[in-house]
Chains A and B, each alone.
Chain A
Amino acid sequence: MLRSKTTWLLVGKRLGIALITLVIVSFAVFFATGLLPGDVAEIMLGQAATPEAVAGLREAMGLDRPALLRFLGWLGGLLTGDLGTSYVNKVEIADLIAGRLANSLRLAGIVTVICVPLALSLGIAAAMWRGTLLDRMVSVLTISVISVPEFMVATLAVLIFAVWLDWLPALSYGVNVDSIGAMLRAYAMPVISLSFVVSAQMIRMTRAAVIETINTPYVEMALLKGASRPRMVLIHALPNALGPIANAVALSLSYLVGGVIIVETVFNYPGVAKLMVDAVSTRDLPLIQSCAMIFCISYLSLTTLADMIAILSNPRLRN
């Protein structure tokens, strides 16, 4: 399909906005963490530190430089992959994160692969047979899941699968992953919990997107041509709902970011989110900043992707 010049202009504009947003976000992350009451150096050295020692550490850490300079330095570091060192255990942050990031991405990847087909078929089916028992059951289930905090979905999963049914281990951490079976068992709980959270959103948005297209005159026209309900939905409504649906998928996947923080904590899963929550409790600022940026970037990429799909799928902009 050919796209017109305006479409690419809009896409470019959206990318530009994403870039600006990223700068503003990193600014916010840097300065929000900089709000820490008390001096980092004092905190690190403890109550008994001499003023000289604190001053020395401040200079060593570059804390005496103006904030803006520190921000630019930090931003430059981010761009070149130099994330600094952890305050707490003096390890390169890049090394700390690398393995954890792979774990988190694996979790997110598995959830995506399971959720997208499942949620799309359920959402479309619910829209196609709107008002039927299936639709109502799906609606009740999804509204229940999005109404409760992620940790409740996770604890409920533990309660059902680990405590009552005793099928799966409650924690992922420390489980042997030698065999495929063991690995499946280890991932099952976090994946199930996250899948519920993400699919619920995706189903609702997909259903809404399809229903909106069903309520158009051209779908009524298809009805008046004698088309069956599945034909109306699959041939007429769906192609026009593809943009909104893809948009819904990308947006729902951004819920992974929030969900993963809770789920990794509940299941003690060794991912970036767990690392960050631990860093928050030890107030390890550089680590918090880096983890926060990872989350912001993934979130921003997904929402930007969603918007770009919406732009590209607008039939009025087609050449």
Chain B
Amino acid sequence: MTESPLVSVRDLRIGAVTDAGRKVEIIRGVSFDIAPGEILALIGESGSGKTTIALSLMGHARSGCSIDGGNIRVGTHDVTAMSEAGRAGLRGTEVSYVPQSAAAAFNPSKRIMDQVIEITAIHKLMPRTEAESRARTLFRALALPDPDHIGQRYPHQVSGGQLQRLSAAMALIGDPRLVIFDEPTTALDVTTQIEVLRAFRSVMEKTGMSGVYVSHDLAVVAQIADRIVVLKEGEIQEVGTTKQILNAPAHPYTRELLAAFEPVPHVPAGIGEEVERKPILEVRGLSAGYGAIRNGEPVAKVLKNVNFRLERGRNLGVIGESGSGKSTLARAIAGILPAYRGSVHLDDRKLEPALHARSKEDLRRAQIVFQLADTALNPAHSVGAIIARPLTFYHGLRGAKCDARVAELLDMVHLPAALRHRLPSELSGGQKQRVNLARALAAEPELILCDEITSALDTVVAAAILELLKELQRELGLSYMFISHDLSTVEAICDDVLVMYKGEVVEALPVARMSAEAAHPYSRLLISSVPQLDTGWLSGLEQDPELVAAFAHR
């Protein structure tokens, strides 16, 4: 490299104080450079320290954390040696920040324009009129609708995807030399993500600024980064160009990350048997909603006339974006939210709509597992007590018999038996989700409703959970209804798929034929929006603008 790097980080060490008051090192000797005009991605799972490193480039450490050692240089500034006032002078002009959740990072009580041009006011860069016209230029460059007036609105009056792009305008207004993107598309739906990514990429190309792109998603990073730093537990595992990392990963951890992306095609149980299977679950004309009941119908209708059959031993995927009603479907089937119309049949028995009217036996046969294992496990109960409760409740097991069964169930989900004495707060995300599954299995169900159970997990951990689900299915003959916003997850485990949009099923077909044969325009849009592990994917992607306008809530 002939040019001197814009940013150089040497042996960075960041410490944190835990809740128990212990000091731990969360970033352990990280070093890297960023060349002018280069976009560097920091890739890692939760706890890898990627956001902590990115924020340290601005001289900022979140409360409880402190930069304990090493050296950070941005341009000619030695960030680590600066005073807090000096760092404040750097922020917005030299280095700026695009947050993960723009919705939270915009002040709800101030107009968007005032917030976008605030950097110019803080650092006295230019007069207000000039700043506003600059902002409008940026709005145009970021493909925002109505660029001349969008600044006059309040943050809650524009959509999430637009806010995310507006936060980029806010970062770019002070002409920084380095822009930090902190998981800026993670909270967005896939169809929205594309537009935001495109806007980011084109504006970065035009301005020639350097960037740091923090993400857990290799496919997203592949579209925008020049080089990738792979992090794990505060240490660098591998650094390389995007092409090299994707095509010729050197480090085993990188290979593991990539492997989790490889589609593992699902082999349906008992394929080729052409016997008429009995449905384990059948849903007819199901409608459900929230709010006050008027004329026997709730005010806010979420599910509208949903019909499907799930055959015993098969898996049904339900896919849709936020607000599609997919979680409501699971709740209506479980009776948590009683349907006001239609019926649910479990093994040809019609179930009562409301939970409390169903028999214990009906409840036992269908179990529900939730997305956030954190909130699904009672923090006050030990793992053993959590798993033992359904055993006592449904099967009357107590004492030694119950203990033995708990150990058996823990073994089934590949957790050590010693874990039974732990509290949920002492487990990792993946372990919690396994306990969550073990509790459902304790009921000896025939059907498990999985509501986004892998969405909050890191890709590698999620892949392991999917593997476990398949294994359990082979051993216990379970059926799953698998709800997800992620097409590849559904492809990995399901036989059939329902595509939901605004509370309705718009398409139902076998997963294997999904990519090729999906006919509904929304399904097609959804399929084409899933990022691929290919640096040229976004550039080559062509979507029908009318389709996008009709279905993507950008």
- Give the interface of A toward B (CB within 8 A): 216-228, 231, 236, 239-240, 315-316, 318
Contacts A231-B122, A239-B110, A315-B156; A225 near B96 (Cβ below 8 A): yes
Contacts A221-B97, A240-B109; A226 near B156 (Cβ below 8 A): no
Which residues of chain A have C-beta atoms less than 8 A from B60's C-beta? 223-224
Besides A220-B105, A227-B118, 17 new A-B residue pairs in contact (Cβ under 8 A), listed by A number: A216-B104, A217-B105, A218-B105, A218-B107, A218-B108, A221-B97, A221-B99, A221-B106, A221-B107, A223-B60, A225-B122, A226-B119, A226-B123, A227-B88, A228-B88, A228-B122, A318-B154
B194-236 interface bits toward A, Cβ cutoff 8 Å, 1 = contact, 0 = none = 0000000000000000000000000000000000000000000
Q: Which of B58, B88, B104 contacts A218 (CB 8 A)?
A: B104
B313 at the interface (CB under 8 A from A): no
B86-100 contacts to A, CB under 8 A, are 88-93, 96-97, 99
A226 near B122 with CB under 8 A, answer: yes
Which residues of chain A have C-beta atoms less than 8 A from B105's C-beta? 217-218, 220-221
A218 to B106, CA, bound (A): 5
B107 near A225 with CB under 8 A, answer: no
Pairs A–B under 8 Å by Cβ, sample size 10: A217-B99, A218-B106, A221-B107, A222-B118, A223-B88, A225-B119, A227-B118, A228-B85, A236-B107, A239-B107
Which residues of chain B have C-beta atoms less than 8 A from A220's C-beta? 105
B88 near A315 with CB under 8 A, answer: no
B108-142 contacts to A, CB under 8 A, are 108-110, 118-119, 122-123
B241 shortest CB reach to chain A, Å:
29
B108 near A315 with CB under 8 A, answer: yes
Which residues of chain A have C-beta atoms less than 8 A from B108's C-beta? 218, 240, 315-316
B327-340 interface bits toward A, Cβ cutoff 8 Å, 1 = contact, 0 = none = 00000000000000
A129 shortest CB reach to chain B, Å:
14
A125 shortest CB reach to chain B, Å:
19
Query: Residue of B at shortest CB range from A242?
Result: B109
B101 at the interface (CB under 8 A from A): yes
Query: Residue of B at shortest CB range from A217?
Result: B104
Tell me which of B58, B106, B108, B119 has the highest count of chain A C-beta atoms within 10 A of its own C-beta: B108
B109 near A226 with CB under 8 A, answer: no
Tell me which of B92, B96, B109, B118 has the highest count of chain A C-beta atoms within 10 A of its own C-beta: B109
A217 near B101 with CB under 8 A, answer: yes
B107 near A226 with CB under 8 A, answer: no
A204 shortest CB reach to chain B, Å:
21
B88 near A226 with CB under 8 A, answer: yes
A226 near B92 with CB under 8 A, answer: yes
A209 shortest CB reach to chain B, Å:
14
A184 shortest CB reach to chain B, Å:
41
Tell me which of B90, B92, B107, B108 has the highest count of chain A C-beta atoms within 10 A of its own C-beta: B107
A216 to B110, CA, bound (A): 15
Contacts A217-B99, A217-B104, A217-B105; A223 near B110 (Cβ below 8 A): no
Q: Which of A216, A226, A318 contacts B90 (CB 8 A)?
A: A226
Contacts A225-B92, A226-B90, A226-B123; A315 near B104 (Cβ below 8 A): no
Query: Residue of A at shortest CB range from B95?
Result: A224
Which residues of chain A have C-beta atoms less than 8 A from B101's C-beta? 217
A221 to B170, CA, bound (A): 10
Which residues of chain B have C-beta atoms less than 8 A from A221's C-beta? 97, 99, 105-107
Which residues of chain B have C-beta atoms less than 8 A from A236's C-beta? 107, 110
Which residues of chain B have C-beta atoms less than 8 A from A316's C-beta? 108, 156
A228 to B101, CA, bound (A): 22
Which residues of chain B have C-beta atoms less than 8 A from A217's C-beta? 99, 101, 104-105
Query: Residue of A at shortest CB range from B97?
Result: A224
Which residues of chain B have C-beta atoms less than 8 A from A227's C-beta? 88, 118, 122
A186 to B249, CA, bound (A): 85
B56-98 interface bits toward A, Cβ cutoff 8 Å, 1 = contact, 0 = none = 0010100000000000000000000000010011111100110
B104 near A223 with CB under 8 A, answer: no
A225 to B107, CA, bound (A): 13
A227 to B122, CA, bound (A): 6
B99 near A226 with CB under 8 A, answer: no
A316 to B109, CA, bound (A): 9
Contacts A217-B99, A225-B122, A226-B122; A239 near B156 (Cβ below 8 A): no
B162-194 interface bits toward A, Cβ cutoff 8 Å, 1 = contact, 0 = none = 000000001000000000000000000000000
Contacts A222-B118, A224-B58, A224-B97; A240 near B91 (Cβ below 8 A): no
B122 near A240 with CB under 8 A, answer: no
A220 to B99, CA, bound (A): 10
Query: Residue of B at shortest CB range from A236?
Result: B107
Query: Residue of A at shortest CB range from B91?
Result: A226
B107 near A240 with CB under 8 A, answer: yes
Which residues of chain B have C-beta atoms less than 8 A from A240's C-beta? 107-109
Tell me which of A217, A218, A239 has the highest count of chain B C-beta atoms within 10 A of its own C-beta: A218
B127 shortest CB reach to chain A, Å:
18
A282 shortest CB reach to chain B, Å:
53
A218 to B85, CA, bound (A): 20
A64 shortest CB reach to chain B, Å:
48
Which residues of chain B have C-beta atoms less than 8 A from A228's C-beta? 85, 88, 122
Which residues of chain B have C-beta atoms less than 8 A from A222's C-beta? 107, 118
A82 to B106, CA, bound (A): 56
A222 to B123, CA, bound (A): 12
Which residues of chain A have C-beta atoms less than 8 A from B96's C-beta? 224-225
The 8 closest A-B pairs by CB, nearest first: A226-B91, A217-B104, A221-B105, A226-B92, A315-B108, A218-B107, A224-B97, A225-B92
Tell me which of A224, A231, A236, A318 has the highest count of chain B C-beta atoms within 10 A of its own C-beta: A224
A154 shortest CB reach to chain B, Å:
40
Which residues of chain A have C-beta atoms less than 8 A from B156's C-beta? 315-316
Which residues of chain A have C-beta atoms less than 8 A from B90's C-beta? 226
Which residues of chain B have C-beta atoms less than 8 A from A226's C-beta? 88-93, 119, 122-123
A228 to B83, CA, bound (A): 13
Which residues of chain A have C-beta atoms less than 8 A from B118's C-beta? 222, 225, 227
B98 shortest CB reach to chain A, Å:
10
B183 shortest CB reach to chain A, Å:
13
Query: Residue of B at shortest CB range from A224?
Result: B97
A289 shortest CB reach to chain B, Å:
41
Query: Residue of B at shortest CB range from A216?
Result: B104
Which residues of chain A have C-beta atoms less than 8 A from B58's C-beta? 224
A223 near B91 with CB under 8 A, answer: yes
A148 shortest CB reach to chain B, Å:
32
A77 to B431, CA, bound (A): 69
Query: Residue of B at shortest CB range from A314?
Result: B108
A216 to B60, CA, bound (A): 16
A221 to B110, CA, bound (A): 14
A73 shortest CB reach to chain B, Å:
40
B211 shortest CB reach to chain A, Å:
15
Which residues of chain B have C-beta atoms less than 8 A from A225's C-beta? 91-92, 96-97, 118-119, 122, 170
B268-322 contacts to A, CB under 8 A, are none
Which residues of chain B have C-beta atoms less than 8 A from A224's C-beta? 55, 58, 60, 91-92, 96-97
Which residues of chain A have C-beta atoms less than 8 A from B107's C-beta? 218-219, 221-222, 236, 239-240
Which residues of chain A have C-beta atoms less than 8 A from B119's C-beta? 225-226
Query: Residue of B at shortest CB range from A241?
Result: B109
Query: Residue of B at shortest CB range from A316?
Result: B156
A222 to B154, CA, bound (A): 17
Query: Residue of B at shortest CB range from A231?
Result: B122
A138 shortest CB reach to chain B, Å:
21
B481-529 contacts to A, CB under 8 A, are none
B52 shortest CB reach to chain A, Å:
14
A222 to B107, CA, bound (A): 9
Which residues of chain B have C-beta atoms less than 8 A from A231's C-beta? 122
A224 to B105, CA, bound (A): 11
Which residues of chain B have C-beta atoms less than 8 A from A218's C-beta? 104-108
